[in-house]
Amino acid sequence: MIDIHCHFLPNIDDGPKSWEESIEMVKIACGDGIRGAVMTPHWIQGTNWQPTPDTVRGLVEEFNDRIKKEGLDFEVYPGMEIGIIADLPKVVSNGDVLTLADSDFILIEVPFYNLPLGIEEVIFGLETMGKTAVLAHPERNREFQNSPRRIVELVGMGALVQVTASSLSGGFGDAAKGCAIEFAKLGVLHFVSSDAHSKKHRTPIVSNGLAVIEKKIGKEAVDNLVSNTYQIINGKSRARG
Ligand SMILES: [Fe+2]
């Protein structure tokens, strides 16, 4: 299993505050059966959370060195969780943001309240560039909670859906849980990730969410979710001995 949405890098957003905590988070992830993770610090235009691709790549490189020194069997990859804006396709083509592990998949943050106008145009614009929008935790958005079927149209336009593992296990309330399970029943759930921010709260655990999917949908659905995560890093993982 690869975690494709999490905040392990220190002092770049609302994630951990030290390399020590980042390493502790890797240990928790390893204990949960996670073999690697795409680092997705927030990138929100016009705020302090707007790291450059080079900054993120530099931290990922340092993190991999530190993980190796600790003797942990884990690899991290560069990425970002990008706040949605109308001209996102242009920002992507300018190279101002990172895709997930240098793939053609782009993690887009879905706000918690209203859906942004023009989300369809952004998905379509990325699609015409050969990029795929991965919608981050839409089950926590009020409009999708009121009407989970609304996501089907966006998936039909080419978007993929990532839900947070602890939404499935009830950590974000009944509405988020119900919505995430409904996405799975509708066949429009593609990734389960931790969205971890620390070693204490919002930890790097996905098995809790996968257990819910296994119970409600079945083992094959879990296998597909796991294999989807490897597609993101396909061909980019270091060979393991
Ligand atoms: Fe996140």
Q: For 124-146, give one letter per residue: b (16+ CB within 10 A) or e.
A: bbbeeeebbbbbbbbbbbebbbe
**Distance from Cα 82 to the centre of ligand 1, integer Å:** 9
Q: Which CATH number fits domain 2-232: 3.20.20.140, 3.40.50.150, 3.40.30.10, 3.30.200.20?
A: 3.20.20.140
**Distance from Cα 6 to the centre of ligand 1, integer Å:** 6
pLDDT tens per residue, range 75-112: 999 999 999 999 999 999 999 999 999 999 999 999 99
**Distance from Cα 137 to the centre of ligand 1, integer Å:** 8
**Tell me, what's the pLDDT at 117?**
83
pLDDT tens per residue, range 180-195: 999 999 999 999 999 9
Q: How many CA atoms lie within 13 A of 165 on its CB side?
A: 28
**Distance from Cα 241 to the centre of ligand 1, integer Å:** 32
**Distance from Cα 193 to the centre of ligand 1, integer Å:** 9
Distance (Å) of CA 137 to CA 69, 79, 145, 156: 33, 16, 11, 18
- DSSP-derived secondary structure for 40-53: --EE-TTSS----H
Q: For 2-24, give one letter per residue: b (16+ CB within 10 A) or e.
A: bbbbbbbbbebbebbeeeebbbb
| DSSP symbol at 101 | G
Cβ atoms of 54 and 73 within 8 Å: the answer is no
CA–CA separation, 132 and 125 (whole Å)? 10
Q: What is the pLDDT along the chain (241 residues), one digit of tens a residue?
A: 999 999 999 999 999 999 999 999 999 999 999 999 999 999 999 999 999 999 999 999 999 999 999 999 999 999 999 999 999 999 999 999 999 999 999 999 999 988 888 999 999 999 999 999 999 999 999 999 999 999 999 999 999 999 999 999 999 999 999 999 999 999 999 999 999 999 998 999 999 999 999 999 999 999 999 999 999 998 543 333 2
Size of the chain, expressed as the number of residues it contains? 241
**Distance from Cα 92 to the centre of ligand 1, integer Å:** 19
**Distance from Cα 4 to the centre of ligand 1, integer Å:** 10
Q: Which of 4, 2, 21 is nearest to 12 (CA)?
A: 21
Give, rounded to a whole angstrom, the gap between the first and last alpha carbons of the chain: 18
